Structure 1
């Protein structure tokens, strides 16, 4: 344990404006293929620029969320969130008139604004009396919103106005998030103070954050190479699309399952059990199964993806009851989501997409080892305590 801490005087309830702002901040994570691919088709971004722009935005988002958690006080929330939403809208609109290096830089600035927006949602969840439930609601609503926009934008906006129409639509959504900021709480309760360790994260908390980073690197390293992996397994494009659709549908079910059952499950059991199952999935997918088996394995992968995410919050609060580690959760998840595909891309050649699976398996094994080690240390420190 990181020391005795004060209880949170008034746990933060689920706040709909904050939930909405957090969802808007992460919409781009599900829409990058659509938006960046459209910019490339319009000749404003090269093929290599797609990866650079995606990485710049997600890295900036994660870093801004972490810095905001470390330096911003949870007061004057309405002004801070309204300004972040306005900045996010302005960056989406400004993307209409830039290309190449300027576009990549601007997407990074867009990520900075989104990071402050995400900070508010992370702060709400970290201060909750039932953080795993609020985290489950957040990831489920976030996934549904991404799915709806990914389905609607190409048909209702981009068919007539191209990628510029999508950017204008995203800017309009960001403006609604800025308006939601004016309805947010004026402030959050301060986080409880630890009697040991001051404001610094303990080595155990850092190990927990590293496990989250590695888990997300494992997930996204597989996800971005899913269609090439399907092709290597002999699936035709239609079957590959079916696998992606199955994974997305099961993500929603996974988030819902975590929301409903989260309070009755121990985070350590879920994280270790899901890690073992995921190792089996990676092994099976590495054998390039064909047809329905490949789709079924990917569907289970999608379910576990979102089912596990809320338990990251419970893990970090169990390690560090001051909840400061939990405030860095978004940073660890987003940095892992960026670093995983970036590192995998350095290993994957023109024909060896299987290297992505090997890299993902290594990340997963390391994450699982860290979680097992953290659980063992916590149990040894206080064998009779009820841990996470």
Structure 2
């Protein structure tokens, strides 16, 4: 990996500061059920508006990541990182005081800042000699941080300080992330390289399947606590599902590391869809606390287990790499579409409808994946 304009501190491995910034930027998605429910309890958001806020944050990430990839050179990275973190600090601090409409706007701003930091991470990974290993470290560490934050917020911060304490903790996290900025490589060789263009139809189908998969995951996840309440679980029991789900994410990341060179990309993806459907049944269809928590853990596991296999799935039908350049956009678009599609459904039919919608997204992902695979012998490949 070649850097340009690095400080002396960056003479060691280039990837750690990029991963640290990516971890801090990416862990918020896992915390959304807890954070948005705190805003609901404080009467800043109703249940339908929770979906809009989640959509705005994910849209900010997707738009910023995509526009940065298309328009911004991978140069002056320290300045870009500082500006992104400043936007996140202002957005998280403002959420404490803002009303419902302003909260949605501020979550978009926070998402945009996070998207820039994730773009920096993707730029580094695209130039790394070991992207799979670094990505595995990233997703696992991100899940560990999300678990620690969810436990701290649920057990200590929220009972004492409510939503103000939770978002104040995010402000402190954003400020702590500034420590990584001086160690960033300030640019990379080939920073002015343009877009590679659009991939072929098979790769586009795989990218759409990717978006549908994450739409199903995120469309349910942001409504997890009210969904469990509607299924008959009390608040204390339902609250256990978020840390259990995040613990499942850690397990999913570790499992992906272990199976990356042993399991084909499509096989892993299909197995993940089947397990996600089983998790939905356990979450909303099985009686008792234990099946519900098992479903939450399984759902979190699948969420993190499948995405590492999606890049090799695209490369299996498009070895030119054009489709691979759009993986981040497809994944983030799915996190936008899921809550966006769920919000009006919740308003009309109630929160219980999100489980059926999530299952439909997952089934659509499977259908598109199989359509892309049909007649293409080289599609199945490992991620190593």
Determine the C-alpha separation between the residues in 1 that align with 2:97 and 2:381: 56
1:195-254 CA-partner distances (Å, limit 9, x unpaired): xx9523333332222111100111123334444554565555555444444333222111
Q: CA deviation at 1:341?
A: 2.9
Aligned to 2:151: 151
2:267 to 266, 269, 275: 269
Q: Is the 8 A contact 1:140 1:255 kept in 2?
A: yes
How far apart are 1:128 and its partner, in Å?
Answer: 3.5
In the alignment, is the contact (CA less than 8 A) between 2:245 and 2:300 conserved in 1?
yes
Distance 1:222 1:94 in 2: 26
In structure 2, C-alpha distance between the alignment counterparts of 1:114 and 1:144, rounded to whole Å: 18
Quick check: 1:288 aligned with 2:285? yes
Structure 1 residue 53: deviation in Å? 2.4
Alpha-carbon contact 1:122-1:327 (below 8 Å) kept? no
Please state how far the C-alpha of 1:18 moved relative to its aligned partner: 0.4
Relative to structure 1, is the Cα distance of residues 162 and 190 closer, same or farther in structure 2, using a 3 angstrom cutoff?
same
The answer on 1:309 being equivalent to 2:307 is yes
Distance (Å, rounded) in 2 between the aligned partners of 1:38 and 1:227:
11
Structure 2 partner of 1:86 = 86
Query: By how many angstroms is 1:139 displaced?
Result: 1.6
What root-mean-square deviation, in Å, do the aligned CA atoms of Structure 1 and Structure 2 show? 3.5
1:65-123 CA distance string (max 9 Å, x none): 11111211122222222222223223333444532323322222222121111111122
1:355 paired residue number:
353
Residues 227 and 364 (structure 1), Cα distance of their counterparts in 2 relative to 1, 3 Å cut: same
Number of residue pairs matched? 374
- What pairs up with 1:35-54 in 2 under 5 angstroms? 35-42=35-42, 44-45=44-45, 48-54=48-54
- Per the alignment, residue 16 of structure 2 pairs with 16
Equivalent residues of 2:205, 2:372 under 8 A apart: yes
Q: Structure 2: which 5+ runs fail to align?
A: 4-12
| Change in CA separation of 1:191 and 1:213 when aligned onto 2, cut-off 3 Å | farther
Instruction: Work out whether residues 127 and 191 of structure 1, in 8 Å CA contact, stay in contact via their aligned partners in 2.
Output: no
CA distance in 1, matches of 2:54, 2:120: 23
Contact 2:244 2:297 in 1 (8 A): yes
Structure 1 residues 205 and 73, CA gap change in structure 2 (3 angstroms): farther
8 Å CA contact 1:208, 1:371 repeated in 2: yes
Contact 2:58 2:336 (C-alpha < 8 Å) held by counterparts? yes
**Structure 2: distance between partners of 1:163 and 1:286:** 26
Distance 1:204 1:134, change over 3 A: farther
Of 363, 368, 371, the match for 1:370:
368
Moved more, 198-207 or 351-360: 351-360
> Residues 358 and 31 (structure 1 numbering): CA distance in 2 closer, same or farther, change over 3 Å?
closer
Q: Could you say what secondary structure the match of 2:62 adopts? A: helix
Match of 1:134 in 2: 134
Q: Determine the structure 2 residue equivalent to 1:218.
A: 216
- The offset of 1:138, in angstroms, is 1.6
Partner of residue 335, structure 2: 337
In 2, Cα distance between equivalents of 1:354 and 1:41 = 19
The 1:37/1:191 distance shift into structure 2, 3 A limit, reads same
In 2: Cα distance, 1:237 partner to 1:30 partner? 18
TM-score of the pair, normalised by structure 2:
0.82
